[in-house]
């Protein structure tokens, strides 16, 4: 921007001027004026809704009439702690953890290359290459994987063509990760989640890595650290806030998803699906609400730790 001298009219001593003066002098009042609209919106619409949700979780459902009894009770939470429901929670948390860890593994090299080696056009290309899949349609991406993973789909065809069909069959015959086909196995589900969320991991890690001063790395080298030591003791700790920031997204997004497991994956339910079916077909809003308090608590814990590690600045 060039600082050409835009002719600014001599300020009239009008109402605007006086209002402006008040705002400049009384910073607190000015801040308040700025903050009131967004805080009203988020406070009323968003926090209000969260409290409505919390309130619902203390209601219960009348087993005979199927209507909601609007009296505070812990009955619904008792139901939540039944073994079958605890299983769902544990399974979902494990799944989210696995997805997050694998996403770090895939994202780190991309982010590292983009931050440390890519320059000029290559760097711009890398950035766009990560942004495009991040922002392209969620459903389109899930759908693409349905095409790829289906029994007659592309992955199977490629495996056949490469003569690795037996490898795929071997993997599918394994317990837990396997299944009748990729599109109805945990392997397929984890692949889709990874595909969906990995870009969310790349960008914060890259941002954190870019803030590591080159002089620190040179200093480590000058002091006799080999590249591996430099990486472990200098780069990695400084990149950690970025990793944690990225994990907020990958973890939270997996924790609450209910569409991917509906389309790809085994028949056992994960948390999001239960919330969805309980509030929808079953009409049991209190149980759905109690279920959704779980991710709120988990993310609350996660965000507290993340904030301590300075991950918010890496977002």
Partner 1 sequence: MTDARSPLALKIVAGLGLLFLHLPLAFIILYAFTTEDRSYAFPPPGLTAKWFAVAWERPDVWEALALSVKVAALSTAMALVLGTLAAAALARTKFFGREAVSLLLILPIALPGIITGIALRAAFSLADIPYSFWTIVLGHATFCIVVVYNNAVARFRRLSPSLVEASMDLGADGFQTFRHVILPSIGTALLAGGMLAFALSFDEVIVTTFTAGQQRTLPIWMLGELLRPRQRPVTNVVAVVVIAVTALPILAAYYLTREGEAVAGGGK
Closest to partner 1 by CB, 175 vs 223, is: 223
Q: Give the nearest distance from C-beta 206 to partner 1 in angstroms.
A: 11
Closest to partner 1 by CB, 137 vs 175, is: 137
What's the CA gap between 93 and 251, in Å, rounded?
A: 8
Closest to partner 1 by CB, 65 vs 175, is: 65
Among 269, 313, 308, 311, which Cα is nearest to 291's?
269
- The answer to whether the CB of 247 falls within 8 A of the CB of 201 is yes
Closest to partner 1 by CB, 130 vs 179, is: 130
What's the CA gap between 306 and 290, in Å, rounded?
A: 25
Closest to partner 1 by CB, 21 vs 226, is: 21
Q: Give the nearest distance from C-beta 175 to partner 1 in angstroms.
A: 26
Our CA dihedral for 26, 32, 35, 37, rounded to 10 degrees, sits at -120
Q: Give the nearest distance from C-beta 315 to partner 1 in angstroms.
A: 7
Q: By CB neighbour count within 10 A (0-12 exposed, 13-18 middle, 19+ buried), where does 246 fall?
A: buried
Q: Give the nearest distance from C-beta 84 to partner 1 in angstroms.
A: 20
Q: Give the nearest distance from C-beta 9 to partner 1 in angstroms.
A: 8
- The answer to whether the CB of 150 falls within 8 A of the CB of 143 is no
């Amino acid at each position: 921007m060039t600082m050409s001298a835009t002719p600014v009219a001599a300020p009239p001593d009008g109402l605007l001027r006086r209002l402006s003066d008040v705002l400049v002098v009384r910073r607190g009042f000015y801040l308040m004026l700025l903050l009131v609209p967004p805080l009203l919106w988020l406070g009323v619409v968003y926090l209000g809704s969260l409290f409505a949700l919390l309130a619902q979780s203390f209601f219960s459902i009348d087993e005979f009439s199927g209507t909601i009894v609007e009296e505070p009770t812990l009955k619904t939470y008792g139901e939540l702690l039944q073994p079958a429901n605890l299983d769902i929670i544990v399974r979902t948390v494990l799944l989210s953890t696995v997805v997050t860890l694998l996403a770090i593994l895939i994202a780190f090299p991309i982010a590292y290359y983009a931050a440390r080696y890519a320059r000029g056009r290559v760097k711009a290309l890398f950035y766009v290459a990560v942004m495009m899949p991040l922002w392209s349609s969620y459903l389109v991406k899930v759908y693409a994987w349905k095409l790829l993973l289906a029994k007659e789909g592309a992955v199977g065809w490629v495996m056949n063509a490469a003569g690795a069909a037996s490898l795929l069959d071997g993997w599918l015959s394994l317990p837990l990760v396997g299944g009748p086909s990729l599109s109805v196995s945990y392997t397929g589900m984890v692949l889709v989640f990874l595909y969906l969320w990995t870009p969310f991991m790349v960008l914060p890690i890259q941002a954190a890595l870019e803030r590591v001063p080159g002089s620190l790395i040179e200093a480590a080298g000058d002091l006799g650290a080999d590249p591996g030591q430099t990486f472990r003791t200098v780069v990695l700790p400084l990149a950690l806030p970025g990793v944690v920031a990225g994990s907020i997204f990958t973890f939270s997004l997996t924790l609450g998803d209910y569409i991917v497991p509906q389309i790809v994956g085994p028949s056992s339910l994960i948390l999001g699906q239960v919330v969805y079916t309980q509030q929808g077909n079953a009409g049991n809003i209190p149980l759905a609400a109690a279920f959704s308090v779980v991710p709120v608590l988990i993310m609350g814990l996660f965000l507290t730790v993340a904030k301590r590690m300075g991950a918010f600045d890496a977002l």
